[in-house]
Structure formats: C-alpha cells, structure tokens
Amino acid sequence: MFVHLHVHSPYSFLDGASSLEALLNQAALWNMPAMALTDHSNVSGAVEFQRIALGLGVKPIQGAEITTEDGTHLTLIAENKVGYQSICRLLTAGYSHGSRHQALVPWKALAENNRGLIVLSGCHHSGVAQAILGKNYAQAKAEALRLVEIFGRNQVYLEMVHSYLPFTKHLLRGLFKLHQELHIPLVATNNVHYLRKDDFHIHDLLVCTRTQTKLGELNVERPLNGESYFASAEEMKMRFAPFPDAIKNTLEIAERCTLALDLGRNLFPRYFPDQGPKKAIRFLRELTWTGARRRYSSISSPLIERIEHELNIIEQLDVADYFLAVWDLVQYAQKQNIRYAGRGSAADSVVVYCLEITNVDSFARGLLFERFLSLERAQKPDIDIDFDARYRDQVADYVYKRYGSERVASVCTFQTYHARSAIRDMGKALGFSPAELQQLTKNITSVPSDGIRSLLHRLPELKHHPLHQAKYSKLLDYCAAINGFPRQIGTHLGGLVVCGEPLTTVTPLQPSAKGVLITQFDKNTIEDLGLIKIDLLSLRTLAAVSDAMQQVGPQIAYGEIPTDDKPTFARLQRGDTVGVFQLESPAQRSLQSRLQADRFEDIVASVALIRPGPIKGNMVDPFIARRHGREEITYLHPKLKKILAPTYGVVLYQEQVIEIATEIAGFTPGESDRLRKAMTTYRSQREMEQIGEEFITKATERGIEKEQAELIFSYVVGYSGYGFCEAHAAAFADTAYRTAYLLEHYPAQFYAALLNQQPMGFYPPNTLCVQARNRGIAILPLHINESDVEFSAGERFIRIGLKQVKGMETAFLDSITLARTERNFSSMQDFVYRTTVNKDVTENLILGGAFDCFSINRRALLWNLPKLYQSKQGSLFLETPTTHTLHDFPPFDRWLKEYAVLSLTAQGHIMEFFRPRLSKKVLTTKDVEFAKETLQVAGLVIRPHRPPTRSGKTVVFLTLEDEYGLVDVTIFEDIYKKYAKTIYSEPLLLITGEISRRDLNERASIVASHIQALR
Amino acid sequence: MSKLINQPVEPELAGSFPVSFSFGQNFIIKYILKHWREAGEWWLNQPELFVYEVMTNHCRCELHFLPATGKWILYRLAD
C-alpha cells in the first residue's frame, strides 16, 4: 500500500496537468486509501477535492506546497482542522510578505502557526535538498533541525522524491544520511503533476505557457523528464526498494490525518448574535409583512401563501441572517441616498421585493422562486445589487466596518480554458506564429476546448477552417486535455463574503491586482465552506440617474415615474434610444423599432433577446413575427404551451428551461438547475450529452416519444450560452424603462448626467452631444466663469464641464472653484495668477474655448501664455498681452483642437466642414430613412465591432454619425476583407450600399458594398 | 576531454542495469556515477532516453538506453 502525499492539480496554475477527478478516480481504482492535495501556495481545489474524494471512498488530505521567504519549498499536510487553519493563515501571511504573484511565507509565521501540521521537507527546491545538492551537509542538517524545532519531532518527515534526475541518487543518499543521524523519518512522494506518463506533454506545454517559452526553447523550470506521474503503489515500492520505511510512512501519515475541511456549515454572521436563529426569522417575517403592506394595496390569499412559502424555505435553509444583512446594507444605502437596484435571480423572490432590495414584483409576474432558492438544491442565496457607481465602494466600506475587516473579503474568480484561449496558449507553446494563431482562432466561438472538433464538423462555415488540417490534430488534443483548467486567479466583479469568524480560519486571503484581499475559493465553492456571497456591483447608469434627478429637481420622483407613458414607448418604437440603459446598441435600436414595444413585458423580452444565445439560436425573428401575429405560434408538445405562451412559443428565459425540464422529463428542481447551469456556462460537451441522455430517458418514461424528446432537448440546447433569467431581465427592464422616460422628458439633464459618468454606455461623449443638439438642446461651450466642474443642464442647454478638459486634475479644479468664490476671472492673466493650474492644462483650457469670453482669439492666448507663466514666476508685475493682431486658427483646425482636448465640441459636427465638398447624391443620415435602393452616406465612424454571428462568419457592424444623427451599417465578410484597413483606420468614411429593412417598422440601415475614406 | 561515439552496443545486464559492454575492447562497469531519464524533444518525436554515466575499467562512459526500442548506445567516452 502507498499513499500519494504530494500531488498538484490544475489549481497549481499551469503546473498541474490532470483534473482532480482523474487523479482521484485512479487512486480509487488502485484502492489507495487516501490522497493529499498540495497545490502551490493555494488551497483553491480543496472543496472540489474533498467532495470527489469522499464520493469515491478516498480519504482527502488537505495540504499545500509553500514557498518560504528564502525561496525554498516545503510540503505542508493538514493533520486535522487546526492544521488546515494553519495553512490558511500561513498562505495569507505569505502573500502579505511576498507579492500577489508569489506567496513567500516568513519563518516567523511558520513558528506562530505550527499547529496541526505534518511537514514534509519538500522537493528538490526545499531548503534541505538545496543544501544537500550544494554539498553543504551541515546546512542540510541545520535546515532539517529547524523544521523539527518549529513543528515538533513527530511532525516532520524527510521527503524523498525519486524523480530520475541527474542528482536524484546523491539527494536520496543525503536524505538517508540525515535520517540516520537525526532520526527524522523518511517519506516517499512522487511530486505528482499529472496522472499518466503520457500526460507529461500537457504538463510541459502548460509550463511553457507559464514561463512564456516555446517547446524548442530552454527554461530552467521545464521538467527534464516525464516521471512526475501518479505512479502505482508497486512502482513506488520498486523505486524506493532501498527505503521501505519511506513507503510505509505514507500510510502512517494518512492514518494520522482526519478530515480537515468543514463543509456545509453556516458561517454567515448572526444578525442577532446573542439570540439565535429564531429571532432572525421572526424579525425577517416582520419586515417582510410590513414591506408587503407597503408594496401591495391588498394582500390576497395566494400572496400570503407565496410569502409564507418563501419564508418557510428561508427558515429551513437557515439563511434569514443573510436576508437581514442585505436588507441592512440597502437600508444604509437608502439613508445615504445611494441609488441601488437589486438584480439577478433574487428578483424571483417576493420577500426580497418586500424588503425593497429589488423592484420586480415577482408575485405579479408569476416568477419561479425555486430558480432563486430551493430546499432540494439547498444552495445558499445569492443576491446581486447594482449601486450608483460613485458610491459602491462606500457601501462596501460599510460592510467592512459593520462586520470587521478580518471577516470580509472579495470573492475570487478563476479564468478557465475555453476553445480560443486553449488554442492561443497551446499553439503559442507549440511555436505557431501570432498570425497563424489568429487564423486558427478565427470564427471559433466560445465553446469548451474539448468541443472544438465537434464545432468544426457542426458548422458549415467552418468546413474549410485551417484546424481541419492534420498538422493541427495534436493541437486539438492538447486543447481538449486542458478544457476547463483554471489559468489564473482574479477578482469577482462585486462579490463580497462576510464570515461570522475570521476568514483566515476558512480560506487563505491574497491580494488582487486592485489591492483588495480575495479568497482562494470562487463563488461556486465558497458556499460549500459555509460562506455566502453578497454581490455589490457598481453601475454608472444609476449614478447618471441620480445626477439627472438632482438636476431636474423635486418635480419628479424616480419611484413614481408612470409605467405606461406613451411618449416614452413612442421613443422606444422609433428606436431612438441612445443613452437608454441596455437598449441603446445598434442591435437593440433596431429591435426596438421592429418590436414596437408598447408594454413593459416587451422591454423585458428585449433585454433577454439581444444576447448571443437567442441571436445564434435564431430566436429574434420568430419572436418578433409571433409578437405581431405574422407567424403562427406553435409548440413542440402541448405541455409546452402553458410554459412558453407568454413568449409566443419561444424559449427565452432560464425559468422556462427549468419548467420544461420539470414538465417534460420530470426533472427535480435540482436536476433542472443542473441543466440550466450546464447550458448557461456550457463548460463541457460531455456534461451536456450526459444531461441530454437523462432528459430523453426520463421524458420517454413519462410517455413522450423519443424523437420528440430529442427535438425538445435540442431546442433547449439551442439556448446555450444565454445567461439571463426572467427576473434579471425584468430588473434591468425596470431601469431601462425609467432611463428611457428621463431621456424622453428631461433630455438635457439626462444627457448631461450621462456625459458626467463617462466612460459608460455604447457611444462616445460627442455622439451624446450630437443627439442632444438634434433634440434642440444647445451645447454651450466651456466657459472659465460659467462652467461647473461637471456638465450642467438647464431646460434646453448643456454646459460643458471643466472636468472634461484633458489633463485636468482635482487640485486644479479646486483651485479654479476656490478662486471663483472670491470673484470671477477677469482675464487670462488673472486666471494664471490666481490659480495653480499648470501651463499644459491651461493650454488645453484655451483650446477648449474656456477663455473665448475674454474676446481674445485662442491662438493669441496661446502665444501669450508662456510670458504669463514666466511673469508669474519671476515678476511681481502683471504682464499685459501684446499680440492681439494674431489671427485665430482656421475653423477646421480650431474644431480639431477643441475635439482633441475635450473629446467633444460645442462647435457643431465635423461633417459640417465636409458637407459642402460632397456631391448632392451623398445623403445625410436623416434622409436615409426615406431613401430607396442604392445610396451613399458619409460620416464619423462609431464603434466598429465584430460580434459573434449565427453563421460564424465575420460581419462588421458600425454606426456612421453626421450632423443630423446616426445610421447603422452592416459590412459582410467579402466587403470587410476588401476594406478592413480603411474601416479600422479612417475616422471618416463614405459608404455606398443598399438600404436594409427587415420589416416596415425597422429603422433603415445600410448594407455596405463600397467603402472609402473621407479626407 | 571526451569523445562523442553514438554507436550501438549490447551490454550485459544485471536486472536493468548494465555491467559490461564491448566496444573495440571489453569495458567492465565498476559503478554507476549518475543515472537519469530524459524526455527528449518529444514534440519532434524524439524517444525517451535513460542515461547512465558509468565508471568502467578504462574510463568514464555515457551509455544511453532507448526503452521504446530496447537499444543501447555508447554515447560518449571521457577521460
């Protein structure tokens, strides 16, 4: 018998080439009683490891291979729960002492956190091994004794790795000598980095990726041979034949170790720490019913039943404290006037609605609470809240203060390998050129990297893709082998975890690129540890809404915006939605004009429709045709009617997938949720096939014909990649409608607010100015005395803010506003002398037009500026400008310079300079609507992009902007190939093309046939 | 000084270890100095290699064993 006590998984990040599942399956197959997981400086795989191991009857031993502050390695094994906590604290200390890329654990920290650990002296990078290899036996002895001193005699083993390297014999001999002299027991490991010897190639490729080398290049970190595999007990015995105790001791250690990871606990802090969970649920009940009376005019029996149903589940899952904590933080936001909006599946809950966390009435919408929380899945709730971007961190700070900084951290994410990233990394290591890799990844959509071959055969447009060539066959094998492996650790956008005890008893913490501390478990595994994530996201749209509301004043309350405002819907129907949350992209504007939204439900569907899933699944056209009665509504099975009727027979929402799986195949909520998750993440082709088989078997058992069941499943799978649940879409639609209302009724204030929150949304600031101008709102120029720091708005004007000037700093703004409180600036020199603004920024202010009010042209002001600054530094006397006779810049230059420093202009559109030179045949964007057939139009290029398309072919979408507005242009692959350089390098284009309109209501767009630069 | 040989030999073995071989004259292996394994340039289909650095009755030698073919090569002789 033998137990592997030094094993790396893919969580060693590009240093482990076999999945935990594969390694543990092998251990179980060989009846190995236990296995230890010892990834480099992390325990990220611990939860998955323990779950799989216990399922296979293998004892999971938690551990980590750490690097000490002097750069040497050490293998730590958690003997028990205390030992696991020691590892968490040690890794935290290591990242604090080292850097975010490399944890270097100080020896002092090891001495302070030595409990519950069994220590193996380490691989050939260990202090002991390095000393032996350096022929410094005395040092090796000192290193070994240091371990004994820190951890205790019974806790330390000399680790022997028979790796068939040139120095192995010498190293093993040295370790044996130490053992004889110091009586420290030996232990054999194989420092496992992959399952089978053949997998060495994958490991080598991953190491090449990590070290940024190609296979043909040398790197000291690349392994010399493929001996670090998961060797059988027999082979290990053979390798260590002279040291039988080293083998025997692996079992001894395994027997000593007990389960170190506590799963399934509830570590969320109690809302009433001294009064137990009953008090929390009572309080939640009280708050919910108070909220229900506020939210609903009358409380019906079905509503009572629904709320009680939800509260019972919350009570049984013991998560009332979590709801109260979220309620507490939105209370804080409300008190601080911080705008927020709950989103995600939490909007499926009536309780959450009553607590005013979300604004979606899930009872009225008939939303499925089980999509959010169910007894069967027994998973932890996950509430996502968008906050005004300016104050999101303030809310996060509140959480840190409320619970203590040692109990709060951000959740990590793992960037995992998919098709494109796998092709890029494996291809690069194999030595393919960047140009070749670009060809190889072209048109490869976001599928698992083990599904590339299937994709190549499935899509007709990939029939001639280079990856079909035999020379890339190995590449595809390598890509498949690393499917889903984590590549690196990152920070979840807004997820915070709060713990009832110090977090380092549960997870190591390490710094992120942003500097905040992150856990080593992602959102999927963190909850198994008993932690619950609260998502605090920052949304600039909410900041813009707050800003606009402030500028509008008390005449309108955001919460009281009427939900059936006809002018707002008319705006949506025109597709005139630049600036509207979620509905402003060219695809959305086109959809709005085709859909002719006249009710809130249409907006909810819009939010869900323009997503990769529905677009690739060809759901948009049938949805619109059915919505307008132009296409018959059909169902694959009568049982689907009740589920799909609200969306005209089209599968649009995740809730519908769950209901289909339940209704057709009799899936339990847990099984349905597995299907939903598999579809939305689409991580593994194999997993999807397995679920498909289950679905079809169960459906046929329930009397559905096999072919029909297959058809229904294929229909549901077509929805893969689409990640919106109805509740989430409804929450977004609520904000979308309200922003559309503000845009319709308070355009100046709303555009000004959008300009203040840049960068945000789909369009650059100048486009927002053009849109505003076309609605009769004057864009007033920068003015050194009149401009506020930010954009400000009146009924029919927007004044450009000082903050917009390139290079402007807060200190300069403070200096300007402080000087103005005394008196307005009377001249350029008055400005220079009374502020601390530097010369470069003052130049930009001049070019932006801030001093035009002094009736001296910009060129003359620039000419005088150096003298003014010299005079400010060297003389007490104010110098008067003397060069009034200088002529100003020509108008076009003046325009360009203003645009360069403000990213927008008050002077009108650049096309106004070109218009007189253009033929009368070149239409303006406002004329395009009335044009027929072939036409020419010219304008500024806005956001050319190549989104994934249903066909997989490259299609470029861009918007042309002129002085009158916008027109969308579609460029198909043949034309794109011809003019690609022009499209992506020229700011102004003259495009010839055909009018395209899929139905009468749709805004006209252009399909380009010829493109040229406008200069 | 060392001399590259790279010629096949047929050593006499004790278990999997070489004890002697002939190459012009009889080489008796006194002891194995080092033994390691190399994956080689696997991406160019090079086979795996077991390397034995041995001290013989004449000089230091480097023997290669190719497990894929079972062949032995006298790779290098050294002073």
Under an 8 A CB cutoff, do A224 and B38 touch? yes
The mean pLDDT value of chain B amounts to 94
Under an 8 A CB cutoff, do A430 and B43 touch? yes
Q: Answer positive or negative: Cα dihedral of A168, A171, A173, A179.
A: negative
**A389 vs A457, residue with greater confidence:** A389
Distance CA A437, CA A428 (A): 8
**A133 close contact with B: CB closer than 8 A:** no
pLDDT (mean) for A227-231:
98
pLDDT (mean) for A208-233:
96
pLDDT (mean) for A818-843:
96
Count of CB atoms situated within 10 Å of the CB of A618: 12
Confidence band for A682, pLDDT divided at 50, 70 and 90 = low
- State percent of chain A over pLDDT 70: 97
Distance CA A66, CA A103 (A): 8
Judge contact between A721 and A948, C-beta under 8 A: no
Chain A positions in Cβ-Cβ contact with residue B50 (cut-off 8 Å):
164
Write the CA distances from A640 to A206, A627, A675, A971, integer angstroms. Answer: 47, 17, 17, 38
pLDDT (mean) for B23-27:
94
Question: How distant is the Cα of B4 from the closest Cα of chain A, in angstroms?
Answer: 20
Instruction: Please tell me the predicted confidence (pLDDT) of residue A683.
Output: 59
pLDDT (mean) for A890-907:
93
- Which residue, chain included where needed, has tokens 């619950």? A532
Chain B positions in Cβ-Cβ contact with residue A201 (cut-off 8 Å):
42-43
pLDDT surpassing 90 at residue A408:
yes
Question: How distant is the Cα of A730 from the closest Cα of chain B, in angstroms?
Answer: 53
Question: How distant is the Cα of A442 from the closest Cα of chain B, in angstroms?
Answer: 25
**B68 close contact with A: CB closer than 8 A:** no
Per residue in A445-489, pLDDT tens?
778 999 999 888 877 667 889 999 999 999 999 999 999 999 999
| Among A167, A200, A430, beta carbon nearest to B39 | A200
Under an 8 A CB cutoff, do B41 and A224 touch? no
Query: What spatial distance separates the first Cα and last Cα of chain B, rounded to whole Å?
Result: 6
The mean pLDDT value of chain A amounts to 92
pLDDT (mean) for A124-153:
97
Judge contact between A33 and A246, C-beta under 8 A: no
Q: Is A505 exposed, middle or buried (0-12, 13-18, 19+ CB in 10 A)?
A: middle
Distance CA A1012, CA A982 (A): 7
Instruction: Please tell me the predicted confidence (pLDDT) of residue A753.
Output: 97
Of residues A634, A577, A583, A632, the one with CA closest to residue A605? A583
Question: How distant is the Cα of B7 from the closest Cα of chain A, in angstroms?
Answer: 22
Range of the domain at B61: 2-78
**A226 close contact with B: CB closer than 8 A:** yes
Domain count along chain B: 1
Question: How distant is the Cα of A32 from the closest Cα of chain B, in angstroms?
Answer: 27
Instruction: Please tell me the predicted confidence (pLDDT) of residue A502.
Output: 95
Per residue in A584-615, pLDDT tens?
999 999 999 999 999 999 999 999 998 877 77
| Among B32, B34, B39, beta carbon nearest to A225 | B39
Judge contact between A767 and A586, C-beta under 8 A: no
Instruction: Please tell me the predicted confidence (pLDDT) of residue A936.
Output: 95
Sequence-separated (6 or more) residues with CB below 8 Å from residue A532: A268, A319, A322, A380, A381, A382, A497, A498, A526
Distance CA A703, CA A706 (A): 9
pLDDT surpassing 80 at residue A880:
no
Instruction: Please tell me the predicted confidence (pLDDT) of residue A153.
Output: 94
Under an 8 A CB cutoff, do B41 and A216 touch? yes
Q: How is residue A194 annotated by DSSP?
A: B
pTM value is 0.81
Instruction: Please tell me the predicted confidence (pLDDT) of residue A461.
Output: 63
Write the CA distances from A503 to A65, A272, A780, integer angstroms. Answer: 21, 20, 53
Per residue in A753-768, pLDDT tens?
999 999 999 999 999 9
Per residue in A696-722, pLDDT tens?
999 999 999 998 898 888 877 766 555
- Segment 27-66 of chain B within 8 Å of chain A by CB: 32, 34-39, 41-43, 48, 50-51
pLDDT (mean) for A578-583:
96
Query: What spatial distance separates the first Cα and last Cα of chain A, rounded to whole Å?
Result: 79
pLDDT surpassing 90 at residue A984:
no
Identify the residue among B33, B43, B45, B55 best suited for mutation to test binding to A, counting A beta carbons within 10 A and taking the highest.
Answer: B43
Lowest mean pLDDT among A23-27, A497-501, A554-558, A792-796: A554-558
The radius of gyration of chain B's CA atoms, rounded to the nearest angstrom, is: 12
| Among A166, A167, A224, beta carbon nearest to B39 | A224
pLDDT (mean) for A56-77:
98
pLDDT surpassing 60 at residue A883:
no
Distance CA A398, CA A407 (A): 13
Long-range contacts of A765-769 (CB under 8 A, 24+ apart): A765/A804, A765/A903, A765/A904, A766/A899, A766/A903, A766/A904, A766/A905, A767/A578, A767/A942, A767/A961, A767/A966, A768/A578, A768/A579, A768/A904, A769/A798, A769/A904, A769/A905, A769/A906
pLDDT (mean) for A949-959:
81
Distance CA A559, CA A473 (A): 59
Distance CA A160, CA A175 (A): 7
| Among A168, A215, A226, beta carbon nearest to B36 | A168
Instruction: Please tell me the predicted confidence (pLDDT) of residue A875.
Output: 57
Distance CA A250, CA A243 (A): 12
Q: How is residue A507 annotated by DSSP?
A: S
Per residue in A865-879, pLDDT tens?
999 998 887 755 555
Helix (H) or strand (E) holding A922: strand A922-923
Under an 8 A CB cutoff, do A164 and B43 touch? no
Confidence band for A723, pLDDT divided at 50, 70 and 90 = low
Under an 8 A CB cutoff, do A200 and B35 touch? no
